Structure 1
């Protein structure tokens, strides 16, 4: 019995796609990147911040995890360390390939009204101006 091997012109692209899989191709693209979160409500401490049921870093950007990040609508939840109350994003957060392409870091910004903003960057993430202003106002009104 003789085995027939495909030509190199066909074999190389097939191997490349097999190695890549669907990691960054198609509507359900998946990326692995450093993730963290920033919480701006000074009345509680957040923990178990999750992006699509996968824990991401917390601690005002000081804790970072390497996480699986999928393109599309996101489910973002976190808990209040004092009460265990579960919070979830009240707004619809959608991540596109353009947000993630070529980026190293993703940060979820958890605002006091339970809305969430996602930022991506190639450098260590920073808090947003919006969040810092909100945090300052809440501290002044205590």
Structure 2
């Protein structure tokens, strides 16, 4: 038979092990970082809205709108809608983020291209349009 002190010590040991395991999980491959997020679109056929990364809304308006969003390490699912229809788009390419890319960074921007591919840029400074995107917009305006 265990006395009251032994039961208490055993309970504390079990709780300590559980919290240790939970602590390790937060550093696992699926760790989450909270970052300022925004999006840029480089086409004029419609306006993208409700841009999401893994189901979490991000800002838009060519980098003018910003949200704080959870960003997980690993494969990203990028979706967005059209303002002139109910069509929902899913990025055709796969973007994978690593811990090294996200560590100590403040901002993440999703860049949506006319062929429905996306690019993600990560920085400590306010996100800017990509050269590729600006080139595409320049071609569209000619």
Q: How high is the TM-score relative to the length of structure 1?
A: 0.84
Structure 1 residues 86, 104: CA separation in 2 closer, same or farther (over 3 Å shift)? same
Residue 96 (structure 1) aligns with:
98
Unpaired runs of at least 5, structure 2: none
Aligned residues, how many? 134
2:136 maps to 134
Q: What secondary structure is seen at the aligned counterpart in 2 of 1:118?
A: strand
**RMSD between aligned alpha carbons?**
2.3
Q: Structure 1 segments of 4 or more deviating over 4 A? A: 3-6, 14-18
Q: Which has the higher helix share?
A: 2
Contact 1:22 1:30 in 2 (8 A): no
Structure 1 alignment gaps of length 5 or more: none
Return the match for 1:81 from 76, 80, 83: 83
8 Å CA contact 1:32–1:66 kept in 2: the answer is yes
- CA–CA distance in structure 2, aligned partners of residues 139 and 77 of structure 1: 26
Alignment of 1:46-57 (within 5 A): 46-57=48-59
Distance 1:122 1:68 in 2: 16
CA drift at 1:99: 1.2
